[in-house]
Amino acid sequence: MNLMQTPVSDTTALKPRITASGVQVYYDTNHALKDVSVNILDRTTTAFIGPSGCGKSTFLRCLNRMNDTVASARVEGKILLDGQDIYDKRVDPVQLRARIGMVFQKPNPFPKSIYDNVAYGPRIHGLARNKAELDEIVETSLRRAALWNEVKDRLSAPGTGLSGGQQQRLCIARAVATGPEVLLMDEPCSALDPIATAQVEALIDELREQYSVVIVTHSMQQAARVSQKTAFFHLGNLVEYGDTQQIFTNPQDPRTESYITGRIG
């Protein structure tokens, strides 16, 4: 692994955006996440790594309350977004999700045109006053997702007709169109070829200028390439959290070391 690629940046000056403390998640009786506490920093890419089934997706889905849609899931603990508890009764999960965007493992464009896919969020949240504004949001979102040049001539073509990599970038455009402050990405590149992966990674680096990005990944190289902070999960526990460089060069916990050197996983 070429650690020289790791973006070296000083994260000490950045404020925490999301503060999670003592988060527990149960699926019926399955205790899937055990006492996780972590700070997600502003304008930083945080990578979640760990073997399959260790609770990375579960934790990610706590951050935008997507676990509310799973009937069997029960979340305990505190998660603050800019100091406000997102599990507070007064918080509307629907509004929350507009502020915390999410991109899934498998590209899931809606069976609608490319334009309507991107315009979906702005439309339901009333973000555009007129057609011209909506057009502009769609265009900037597609540009930020590095997809504009490929689709600008066929915005009315179905989104499901794009290639896998294009579909995933369309989903990213769809997520950024609502102007979220945090972007959650659950293994966004696992269904993509290396070229599309490189495009998405470049995009993540760009998005970090404005957002906090949280990315779940199974590729240690990818974590090292795109993130500044890394959290290692194992069997529902957050084992270690720190600067990416430190995690990969000098892990404190023997489990982390075994995992990144390929001995457990």
Partner 1 sequence: MSIALLTLIILGLSALGYLLGRQRALAAVEGDARKLHSLPSYYGASVFLFTALPAFLTLLVWLIAQPLLIERSVAGMITPADIPAGTTLSLVMSDVQRIAVGTEQLVADGMSETELAALQADPAGLRSALGRLGVSVAETTTPNVLEAAKAYRASASLGHFGMIVAALALAVAGLLISAFRVTPELRARNIVESFIRVLLIGASTVAILTTLGIVFSLVFESWHFFQLYPAKDFFFSLTWNPKFGGGSSLGVWPLVWGTLYVSFVALVIAVPLGILSAIYLSEYASPTVRSVAKPLLEILAGIPSIVYGLFALVTVGPLLRDWLAMPLGLGASSSSVATAGLVMGIMLIPYVSSLSDDIINSVPQSLRDGSYAIGATPSETVRQVVLPAALPGIVGAVLLAASRAIGETMIVVMGAGAAAKLSMNPFEAMTTVTVKIVSQLTGDTEFASPETLVAFALGLTLFVFTLGLNILALFIVRKYREQYE
Ligand X SMILES: Nc1ncnc2c1ncn2[C@@H]1O[C@H](COP(=O)(O)OP(=O)(O)O)[C@@H](O)[C@H]1O
List of residues contacting partner 1 (CB under 8 A): 64, 66, 69, 71, 94-98, 101-102, 104, 106, 108-112, 120-121, 124-125, 158, 160-161, 171, 174-175, 178
| Smallest separation, CB 231 to Mg ion (Å) | 14
From the CB of 54, what's the least distance to partner 1, in Å?
20
Looking at the Cβ atoms of 50 and 251, the one nearer to ligand X is 50
CA distances from 245 to 14, 99, 132, 208, 258 (A): 17, 29, 45, 17, 16
Of 228, 180, 216, 214, the closest CA to residue 13 belongs to: 228
Of 51 and 179, the one with the shorter C-beta distance to Mg ion is: 51
Whether residue 259 contacts residue 234, with contact meaning beta carbons closer than 8 Å, is answered with yes
Q: How far is the CB of 62 from partner 1 (least distance, A)?
A: 13
Residue whose C-alpha is closest to residue 103's, from 198, 13, 180: 180
Residue 74 sits in the site that holds ligand X (CB under 6 A) = no
In the set 30, 37, 221, 250, which binds ligand X (CB under 6 A)?
30
CA atoms within 13 A on the CB side of 85: 10
Could you tell me the sign of the dihedral formed by the alpha carbons of 163, 168, 171, 176, in that order? negative
Stretch that binds ligand X, among 3-11, 52-60, 88-96, 195-203 (CB under 6 A): 52-60
Q: Does 57 bind Mg ion (CB under 5 A)?
A: yes
Distances (CA, A) of 63 to 39, 40, 150, 184, 207: 11, 10, 32, 8, 18
Give DSSP secondary structure letters for 173-233: HHHHTT--SEEEEESTTTTS-HHHHHHHHHHHHHHTTTSEEEEE-S-HHHHHHH-SEEEEE
Contact with ligand X (CB under 6 A): which of 37, 72, 156, 246?
A: 72
Q: How far apart are CA 91 and CA 247, in angstroms?
A: 35
Among ligand X, Mg ion, partner 1, none, what does residue 227 contact (CB within 5–8 Å per kind)? none
Q: Which stretch binds ligand X (CB under 6 A): 53-61, 129-137, 140-148, 201-209?
A: 53-61
Q: How far is the CB of 136 from ligand X (least distance, A)?
A: 36
Of 61 and 144, which has the nearer Cβ to ligand X?
61
Residue 52 binds ligand X (CB under 6 A): yes
Of 71 and 132, which CB lies nearer to ligand X in the complex structure?
Answer: 71
Q: Which of helix, strand or coil describes residue 57?
A: helix
By the rule CB under 6 A, 12 interacts with ligand X:
no
Binding stretches for Mg ion (CB under 5 A): 57
Binding stretches for ligand X (CB under 6 A): 27, 30, 32, 50, 52-58, 70, 72
